[in-house]
Structures are given as C-alpha cells and as structure tokens.
Amino acid sequence: MSKRNTQQRRHAIVALVNEQGEVSVDALAHQFATSEVTIRKDLAALEKTGLLLRRYGGAIAMPSEIVAAGHEPEVSIRKQAIAQAAAARIRDHNRIIIDSGSTTAALIGLLGDKQGLIVMTNSLNVANALNELENEPTLLMTGGTWDPHSEAFQGQVAESVLRSYDFDQLFIGADGIDITRGTTTFNELIGLSRVMAEVSREVVVMVESSKIGRKIPNLELPWQSISTLITDEGLDSAAKAEIEQQGVQVICAAAKV
C-alpha cells in the first residue's frame, strides 16, 4: 500500500472505527503499512479532537451519548477552520515556527502541499507529525529543558537556539485572551514564547473564540507583539473591534460543516 499523508490516513482510521466499532493498533499498522508508534500517535491525535476513544491495544468508536452531546466534534470543526485560515497564509519556502498546542497542531496536516518549508518547533508531538508528511519540511528543534506542563522544551538553551535564526511567521496558541492586554497562559514559563515572537516577522495567534475574554494572570504576548489573531465565527463584533483597535488583524474563520 502506498504511503498516505497523515491527514488522509487519519480520516481512513476514523471511517474504519465507525464502521467496525473497534480496531487494533496491530491491524491498523498492517493496513496502512506504517509503524505501531505512528498509529498510536494517530489515535492520540484523533482522541484529542473527539473522533474516537483509545483503548488498550487499539481504539473504539465514540459512544453515541457523547456524540449526541455534540461538544467535542464542534470544537474540532472550529480548530480545523482556524487551521485552514492559518495555512492559507503560509507560502512555499517560508521559515515558520509552530508552537506546542492542540490548535496549532491542527495546522500540520494542511502543510503537505507546501514546498520548501523550514519549520522550527519546541514540541515533540509537532515534530513527529511533521515527519509523517509526505512532503516533509526541513525540521528544526529548539532543544532545551523538557516542561511536562506544556509538553514542550523551554528554557535558556531553547531561547538561545531561536535567537540564532529569523522566521517569516510564528503560529502560537493561548490558554486565554485578555482583550485589553493580549494572550494569557496558566504556564509561568513565558520566556520562550516571547523570544519566538521577537524572531518572527509575523506573529499569528490561533485560538478558539471561547477563550477570548478569559483573564488568566500570566500575560504571555502583549498585543504589540501580535500581528494577526485567527479565531472562529463565535467572536462577537464588539470584542473583534476592540482587538482591532490594538492594531491586530482579526480573522474569523468560517467552519465548514
């Protein structure tokens, strides 16, 4: 079987789970001619977006009572719309940074048709997903000290590595958006995010509208460091106007259902 890109394979896995009710890692690895490690990563990513549930040795279809609640699939659709709007801003041969996070990770599957990309990340999950793309970009890692809270590398070593480069774009998420201040986070390790912004010509924040207005104590990036905010259509017009007054371009991506 010819190698599929990550997005195609994951769509096929979801279809199989929904059809059969349960699938094993071993069977999926054989069917898609890939490693069990890759399949486990696929299942973990699909579980995060609410499309299946992992079980020991495989996965099962999402229980009907959870699907009926309709929450997670809606979140997934919003993230997908945000990712598509972000991907549309990336040109061939761009040098970009992708920060850790589930919303930024949704961007990776949309990079397969981009030529000559150079991608820096501090996230092992992002790095592994990039390596699964058929049209694999040049991958750079920050290194540094592993932070289990953010599941990414942080610290002075990572900051020093970043300062050795310059980038066209940074794609970064946020735990919350303070409309008057900027992006906020529960994590106290904010130094690397600020260095990422410093070495990038365009800083693109990718965040669902439900996080806008959440005031979390730790300011990560002030508005003057941010070029563009990409969110979904749930953002109300008053909040949009207030953010735009900070000099930030706001894009409300329409979800495709």
Same domain, 64 and 43: yes
* Distance between CA atoms of residues 50 and 61, nearest Å: 10
Please check whether residue 251 is in contact with residue 230, taking contact to mean a CB–CB distance below 8 angstroms: yes
**Claim to verify: residue 60 and residue 171 sit in the same structural domain:** no
Q: How far apart are CA 62 and CA 14, in angstroms?
A: 10
Nearest CA to 101 among 172, 168, 169?
172
Q: Is residue 245 part of a domain?
A: yes
In a shared domain, residues 218 and 167: yes
- 8 A C-beta contact, residue 243 and residue 227: no
Regions of the chain short of the pLDDT cut 50: 1-4, 65-75
28 located within any domain: yes
Q: For 171-210, write each residue's pLDDT tens digit.
A: 999 989 999 999 998 777 789 999 999 999 999 999 999 9
Structural domains of the chain, count: 2
Query: What's the confidence (pLDDT) of residue 69?
Result: 46
Q: Are residues 103 and 124 in the same domain?
A: yes
- Residues 182, 234: one domain? yes
All residues at 6 or more sequence positions from 166 whose CB lies less than 8 Å from its CB, including other chains? 95, 199, 200, 201
Q: Does one domain contain both 115 and 207?
A: yes
Task: For residues 102 and 190, state if they share a domain.
Answer: yes
Structure-token pair, residue 73: 């699939």
Sign of CA dihedral 53, 54, 59, 60: negative
Instruction: Supply the pTM of this predicted model.
Output: 0.72
Q: What share of the chain is helix, strand, coil (3-state, %, to 5)?
A: 40, 25, 35
Number of Cβ atoms within 10 Å of the Cβ of 55: 13
So what's the pLDDT on residue 64?
Answer: 56
Contact 124, 139 (CB under 8 A): no
Question: By residue range, what is the domain housing residue 26?
Answer: 6-69
Domain end position, chosen among 69, 104, 119: 69
